Amino acid sequence: MSVSKVPMVRCRLDGPEGAVESLRYIPLAEFELWRYLMETRHGRQVVVEEVSVWVAEESGTWNSGFADEELQPVVRLRLERPSPYGVPIPMERYYPAETYPQAQEALLSHFEEEPCRVLGATPGYFVPAGAVGRRKQAARFA
């Protein structure tokens, strides 16, 4: 089974630099639009920390080859929200594992009038770019 990787931006919204509540993981494909909305519509400052990949944790099928301290636990939440056209809109959001319960609650509170349907949560990891590079180099010499 192959491990799918999602290109991901780890960034922070304005707030204390070390505060986990300001940490965001945004898929690279959506990042520039998300950043534009955060900065222009919501007046928030976005600071990019790193661009790398998110990989799902697939116990028993994936041996990452990374040290535990290199992996940052991130949960992928899949949902569907109602649309005015009668077809549900799929959504995916990524949260630091330690703030996932509060983040999910905050997200769902935005849709109280027309509730979202939670499809599932997938544990995974943001793999810092330096760790990815070290693993590729080690694989070449193996």
Pairing of β 117-127 and β 72-81: antiparallel
Give the phi and the psi of residue 135 in degrees, each rounded to 5: -65, -40
Pairing of β 117-127 and β 46-56: antiparallel
pLDDT for residue 90 is more than 90: yes
pLDDT for residue 129 is more than 50: yes
Q: For residues 4 and 47, which has the higher predicted lDDT (pLDDT)?
A: 47
Per residue in 20-50, pLDDT tens? 778 999 999 999 999 999 999 999 999 999 9
Question: Are 111 and 89 a contacting pair, CB within 8 Å?
Answer: no
pLDDT for residue 113 is more than 50: yes
From the list 47, 56, 52, 4, the residue with the least C-alpha distance to 24 is 47
Confidence class for position 60, pLDDT limits 50, 70, 90: very low
Q: For residues 68 and 63, which has the higher predicted lDDT (pLDDT)?
A: 68
Q: What is the pLDDT of residue 16?
A: 61
Question: Are 47 and 88 a contacting pair, CB within 8 Å?
Answer: no
Residues 6+ apart with CB under 8 A from 13: 22, 24, 38, 44, 45, 46
Q: What is the pLDDT of residue 110?
A: 82
